[in-house]
Structures are given as structure tokens and as C-alpha cells.
Structure 1
Amino acid sequence: MADGPRTLGPDEIERYARHIVLPEIGGRGQQALAGARVAMVGAGGLGSPVLTYLAAAGVGHLTIIDDDVVSLSNLQRQTLHATGDIGAFKVDSAAAQIAALNPHVRVDTKRNRIAPDNADALLEGHDVVLDGSDNFDTRYCVADAAERLAIPLVAGAIQRFDGSVTVLAPHRADGDGRALPRYRDLFPEPPRPGTVPSCAEAGVLGALAGVIGSLMAAEAIKLLTGAGEPLFGRLLLYDALSCRFETMRYGRRA
């Protein structure tokens, strides 16, 4: 889990000054970020803004899990990668960009496709997991593993002009002592194969990844610092065409 709060150096204090002056974060919260371990599943459209903002925020240890390589069609939305990275593993180009952005962040790259037989080993020891994967098998696998390991999960998804974000922590209770919902309380079963088109088939607005990924990063920072109220039991929906946000509440099933 977290390495624990650590003393910030003078350059870090200047780097994170705009966080430190926020009463909801402050020096203690920034130290918590510096001592945190966060896992990101997917270094693509959602992973790009998530990793950029978490690295900029000073999260001390980022684990990036992705087995894919950069392709030309990725560059419309996957802003961690550049034309010169085509053919490279996404975890490697992402790690290089993070190192250039913030040398205080340690990056652990995993060229793995997360699956039921390796999910626990890849995710254990982290304080927060974020899932930006693009298929239902991976989403259910990550959610089940995070639940087993009692790690909060920030889950995001995008397609065409629509995106969503929620935060799962079924090992915790709400203010009334009721267990918080699971991913399977929100989505009991994955859709049948072929019923939901992929991004390659349906398309996706590039900037949508930035909106949803930034919201995911904000939720992770809130979880790590204790600021605000995370999206527990709430699914935030965003429609880019109408520029409308809606929130749907959901609870633990019997």
C-alpha cells in the first residue's frame, strides 16, 4: 500500500504550491499523494489524461498496465503518445512522457494484458486502481480483483460522444453503515458479444477522453487526500453533443 507521507523538498513545495494552498488538500494531502501507489489499467485514451494529471499532481508511484503498442489511429485521442512512438509499447512511451513531466514520480511498467489469472498480482499493494480499458472482459476482471483486494476503483468508459465515471469501494460502508455497491450492482452482467460496437467500429470524439480521464484523475486525488465526496454509488454521465452532465444513483443489491 502507500509508502506513507514523506517530506517534500523545496522544489516539490514550489511545484505543488497550487495544491498546497487548497485547504482541502494542503501539505498533508500533498504528502499523501507523494507516498501513494496508484495502478492505471490502460495507457490509451483515458489513461493518457489520467496519468498526465496524476503525475503532475505528484502521485509518488504509478503502475501502468497495458500490453498494446502505439498505432497511428491512437493519436487522435491518446495524447501521451506522439508520432515517433508508433510501434512502441504504450507503457514505455507513457513512462517517458511522465519522466519528462515530473522526475519525482516513480513509474512501474507492466506489458501485460490483465486477466483473471494475473489481476490480483498486478493490482495488489496499490492504494487506488483506475480502469480505462476498452472492453467488458477487462472491466469486470479489474472490478472483481479490486473488490477482492479491498482497493478503491475509479472506472471510466467512453464511446462516440458519451462518457461515464464512477467510484467503487464495496469494502467500505456509507454514512448509515450500509455496504457500498459493487460494479456488478451497477452492471450485473456484461452485454452479449457483438451487441456493443467497439470504438473502432462506432468511433469516439478525441476530446471526450480528456474530459472523462480528467474526471477520473480528480476522483483518484480525492480518494488519496480525503478531499470532497467521491462518486460512491453514483454514475456520472456526460453527453458531449449536448454538453450535459447527469448523475444516476445506484445501490447495493440484496
Structure 2
Amino acid sequence: MAAIDKIYIDSFEKYKLFKDWCLTQPKIKDKYGKETSLINYVFNYTEWKDGAVLPVCNNPYYIDAYLIRNCPFDFIQKELMLNYGKWDQDRIDEAYKDVMKRGGEKSESGIFHWLSKDDFSVVDGKICLNQGETDYDRIKEGKLYSNPFTSIKYEIGKTFKIIQHPQRHYNRPFKLKRWFINIDIPEGLGYLLYHSNTNTWDFLDEFVIDDESSNCCTKYKTIKAIQRAILKWKLPVGTIVSCTGKYIDDTYKFKII
């Protein structure tokens, strides 16, 4: 359910256009097949102050990717380009003007100090910036966030072993109602978030419909219940599951193997 940044609009007319378009879009399925509507991610406004620039949504990556590939409005695409690393023509023109004003060389200060004239080219009178392939380009071409599940390849653990436990074995956490569960996956695999609605740990770039996500699970009251849940979570081999009570010394750690 992770999001990169909000999308802003500078008029009620544009907001209404975008909102009405979202209402016409088909249902979108998450990683687990649950459906939602695009309009559910649009903030509701009934009035708009003149000159105001307001956020209209703060989407998960997968929803932003849908907008990048499908939304017909330039004012939305311009916001998404900014959020996903691609410069629009206005910014390119502004940068080129700034660079040439200082003689075409890099500078130690200024808005575009790292750029020089060598970073630009002029094609048929149009100023172009040599940006390379951005996340916006990759999304547009279907190389990124094209599915609600991750493209990361990993081996799912078949069992686990206890690698740490308190001196006294507590089934229930000492002086607490529930255990605090955190996980640490092997380096290079990214980051997992816990979704309470599905009781799953999902990668940051995956689309899971949930009211909230967290880096901690507090669902379970007993270690035995956690042990039953661990393999259902389908965690990568090498993952460390830490279950902590009131004190650090009250920690259990399980390694997925």
C-alpha cells in the first residue's frame, strides 16, 4: 500500500475532470484478487479557494502506474512525471536557460548546478535533456509496477528454527496483551510491510487493499499462535522473525529455512 507522493491540482475544474474520469474506470484487483475502484483514492472536495493548489490523491505505486499508462490529462501526467523522475518540457527549458545563463558549465550552487550544456541537445528547435530511462518511462513501457505482485525472485521457507529465546520461556508476553512482531529479510530483497486485513507480509511495491500497513504485527497473544502463523506468511528463506514483549530480553527469534 506504499505511496510515493501526492498528486496536486490547481483548480476545481481540473479536479472535476479528473474525478469524473476516475468514476468511469474499471475495477482494479490487488495481489490477492480483491477489487477496488480508482475513485476510492481520490480526495473529496466540494469547494475550492481561488488560486489554491490542493492534493487530490496519495496513491500506492500500482495505482500511480495505472494513471501513468491510462490517464489522458496533461496536468495529471505532469505531476506523475515529477514524482517518478522524468522532467517535463517546462522544467527542461527552465534548466537549459539557467545553464546557458552561467556559460554552460556546471556550478557549485544554484537550482540546476549539477547540469552543463553537455546534458542537453536541441532537436528541431526543441530542447532535450539526456535523462536516461526514468521510473516514469519504465512504468509507461510496462517494465515497472505492471502487476500487483512483486517481480522479486526469492525462495519461500518451508520451516523455521528458534535462534533466540528468553531465559524463561513465555508463551504470553510478560505484562503485555500481545507480542510485537518484526521481520528482517535477507539483504537485496527489499522491504516487507504487514497488512492486518489480510494477515500478510507484502513487499513495498506490491498492491494490497488495506486501510493501513505497518512494519510491525501485533495480532498474536501467544508464541504458539505465532509459530502456527509463520509458515502461512510465506516468508523468504533467511528471514528473521522477532517477537518482543515488554523488555528486549523477552525476545524470541525464529529463522526461516
TM-score normalised by structure 2 residue count: 0.26
Q: Give the number of the structure whose alpha-carbon radius of gyration is greater.
A: 2
Identify, as 1 or 2, the structure richer in helix: 1
